[in-house]
């Protein structure tokens, strides 16, 4: 990508995990004339589709395809976003898995619930926690240094983590997922405190059930399931309003807060209503979805372009971007 903090844009919004259900809806609510969108995901076809949609709404778009576990690519993208003058960084990439039910052979059925498979647990921690925390860390380091060097103008910057209500109370159906999201809350809190007085805010979002490919894999009740469009509107309001934390829908957030007052012996009465398992995704099934997704493409994706910027009907190639396309 190019470094170009001089071109005037009203806003520069960077979204990692832009290709997911929530990410796409966020792109839709942020796309507007005068806004530059820096969009990252793995699926190049989805990025191209987003680019078309956002351009049609008047936004300038730069896309980048990489796996969050490719640390060099992740750090480079975050540093570039900071030097380019991004005022908003939304970290929404995530994966989810759940406990594994083992049925007994005998007629007397009592399912034995095992915690997440070790590989699934590691991926949840790797992507949801390590990947997103590293992203924020790299962005903030680059931002503060760029400000000191006078490379970017001093303006308010907001960083947002997409955690989950599972960060606020450990869900027995997905202990690893809960832990990976709770890590974002603590890191976000510490970062916010570190950056006090530096014109950098940190928002940690705690969504409940939101319609997306991820939640479609949930098997069980999904109380107060919300559309991705509505969730994105609420999230934008919280991010742009500089909220420190935002949990929604309110009814579930309040329920979780009240749970802290309930004796441990009665907790299950509430939690049983939210028990769900998660169908394995492609990577969990061993069918790809890994870094190969970016390098070779997946789910019909050619994976030809690693990164590109475009505006209106014009489209800059990766080489243009590397050379530094002026906007």
Ligand X SMILES: NC(=O)c1ccc[n+]([C@@H]2O[C@H](COP(=O)([O-])OP(=O)(O)OC[C@H]3O[C@@H](n4cnc5c(N)ncnc54)[C@H](OP(=O)(O)O)[C@@H]3O)[C@@H](O)[C@H]2O)c1
Residues within the interface to ligand X (CB under 6 A): 17, 19-23, 41-43, 46, 67-69, 92-96, 127, 162, 164, 207, 209-210, 212-215
Report in angstroms how near the CB of residue 169 gets to ligand X at its nearest.
13
**Which CB sits closer to ligand X, 146 or 218?**
218
Cβ partners under 8 Å of residue 32, min gap 6: 11, 57, 58, 59
**Which CB sits closer to ligand X, 212 or 310?**
212
**Which CB sits closer to ligand X, 35 or 284?**
284
Report in angstroms how near the CB of residue 299 gets to ligand X at its nearest.
9
Report in angstroms how near the CB of residue 164 gets to ligand X at its nearest.
4
**Which CB sits closer to ligand X, 36 or 301?**
301
Report in angstroms how near the CB of residue 25 gets to ligand X at its nearest.
8
**Which CB sits closer to ligand X, 112 or 251?**
251
Tokens of 10: 């009203």
Report in angstroms how near the CB of residue 31 gets to ligand X at its nearest.
16
**Which CB sits closer to ligand X, 199 or 299?**
299
**Which CB sits closer to ligand X, 2 or 164?**
164
Cβ partners under 8 Å of residue 79, min gap 6: 138, 139, 141, 142
Report in angstroms how near the CB of residue 86 gets to ligand X at its nearest.
18
Report in angstroms how near the CB of residue 154 gets to ligand X at its nearest.
30
**Which CB sits closer to ligand X, 212 or 307?**
212
Report in angstroms how near the CB of residue 208 gets to ligand X at its nearest.
6
Distance in angstroms (rounded) separating the CA atoms of residues 200 and 155: 9
């Amino acid at each position: 990508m190019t470094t170009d903090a001089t071109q005037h844009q009203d806003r520069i919004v960077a979204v990692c995990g832009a290709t997911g259900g929530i990410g796409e809806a966020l792109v839709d609510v942020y796309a507007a004339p005068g806004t530059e969108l820096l969009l990252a995901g793995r699926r190049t076809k989805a990025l191209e589709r987003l680019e078309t949609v956002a351009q049609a709404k008047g936004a300038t778009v730069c896309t980048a395809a990489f796996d969050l576990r490719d640390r060099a690519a992740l750090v480079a993208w975050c540093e570039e976003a900071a030097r380019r003058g991004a005022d908003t960084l939304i970290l929404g990439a995530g994966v989810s898995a759940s406990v594994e039910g083992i049925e007994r052979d005998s007629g007397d059925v009592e399912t034995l619930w095992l915690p997440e498979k070790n590989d699934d647990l590691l991926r949840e921690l790797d992507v949801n926690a390590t990947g997103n925390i590293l992203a924020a860390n790299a962005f903030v380091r680059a931002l503060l240094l760029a400000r000191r060097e006078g490379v970017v103008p001093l303006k308010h910057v907001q960083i947002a983590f997409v955690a989950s209500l599972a960060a606020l109370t450990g869900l027995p159906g997905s202990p690893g997922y809960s832990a990976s999201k709770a890590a974002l809350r603590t890191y976000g809190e510490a970062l916010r405190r570190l950056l006090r007085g530096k014109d950098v805010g940190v928002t940690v979002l705690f969504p409940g059930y939101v319609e997306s490919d991820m939640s479609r894999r949930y098997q069980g009740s999904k109380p107060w399931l919300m559309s991705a469009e509505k969730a994105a509107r609420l999230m934008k309001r919280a991010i742009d309003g500089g909220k420190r934390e935002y949990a929604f829908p309110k009814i579930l957030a309040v329920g979780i807060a009240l749970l802290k007052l309930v004796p441990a012996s009665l907790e299950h009465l509430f939690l049983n209503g939210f028990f769900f398992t998660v169908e394995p995704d492609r990577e969990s099934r061993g069918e790809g979805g890994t870094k190969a997704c970016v390098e070779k493409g997946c789910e019909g994706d050619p994976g030809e372009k690693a990164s590109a910027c475009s505006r209106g009907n014009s489209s800059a190639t990766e080489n243009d971007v590397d050379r530094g396309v002026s906007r």
